[in-house]
Amino acid sequence: MATRNLERVPHDVLIRLQALQISLKRAERRIADYMLAHPEKIGGVTIVELANRCGASEATIVRLSKKLGFEGFPELKASFSSVEEGEKHFEYEGIHSSDDPMTVVRKVFDATRDAIRDTLGVLAQDDYIRALDALIGARRIMFCGLGDASAVALEAYSRFTRIGEQCLFSEDPDQQLIQAAHLQKGDVLFAISHTGRSRTVLDAVRRGKKSEATILLITNFPVSPLAKQADVVLLTSAFSTQEMTGEVMSKRVTELCIVESFYVNYLMRKGRSALKKLNISNESVRVNKI
């Protein structure tokens, strides 16, 4: 995908394009490339002109506009027109082998800060409330993740278990399938996958759907195999990569922030009954404190 002249691309458009780029069809990709290469022209171009310049149909432009979160092309155009000349545009900084230690520190903190900011920007209110309502009404909640995503799932499991909720968690793929097979209608399977392409998590989600559980998903990519299976998709926006490792932990921090917000909202909605259980849990583990 073209990456020229990004300072004139609206930031919300850029992060959505990054999330969608793997799934874009050829004609959609040509339009996206043109927008990134010539953002200064989008505000004044008609849909017919853009279609001719990109070798794409007007319908494809409308479809891409909607994928990017706009009602249509006029709204997409307006977002480009609102970017001021010379406006400073944030770009994720990768970590390189030549960076000194404190530069690495700054880049790690900056990537985490900006991933949290962008995630808050793309988190859809309606989807969040639907997910919260599903958690509030769940009989049991199964948390599921693979690799370092399982650490986020484990944290979620620990949080909700602490307030006495019936929760399930396992890092073992076989156990995940078994747990998902025993879910029922009214239960929730809460999956966490940055790419939305974790095979074992996808297998567990498919089994959970067969059991009629409600599927919640935290992912960075809205068009992915797991997103297609989920009842509610909660998007993160963490795109920074490291030259040294190929990944950054900021993607997990955004997931943890969403989990923590659910936990706090859950406590507030449940009220005294949840707080009473939390106090019992806190008292029970006090013996382990010096």
**Separation CA 52–CA 46 (nearest Å):** 10
pTM, entire model: 0.78
Residues 75 and 158 reside in one and the same domain: no
Q: Are 273 and 280 in contact (CB under 8 A)?
A: no
- Domain span at 22: 6-81
| Residue 89 domain-assigned (yes or no) | no
**Tally of structural domains, the chain:** 2
β-bridge mates for residue 187, sequence order:
185
Residues 69 and 150 reside in one and the same domain: no
Q: What pLDDT digit, counting tens, does each position of 67-90 carry? A: 888 889 999 989 888 775 544 444
Is 149 strand, coil or helix?
Answer: helix
| Residue 134 domain-assigned (yes or no) | yes
261: CATH: 3.40.50.10490
**What local confidence, expressed as pLDDT, does residue 84 receive?**
56
Which residues, given as ranges, of the chain have pLDDT below 50? 1-3, 86-91, 243-245
**What local confidence, expressed as pLDDT, does residue 199 receive?**
95
Q: Are 237 and 120 in contact (CB under 8 A)?
A: no
Residues 143 and 233 reside in one and the same domain: yes
**What local confidence, expressed as pLDDT, does residue 248 receive?**
61
Residues 283 and 176 reside in one and the same domain: yes
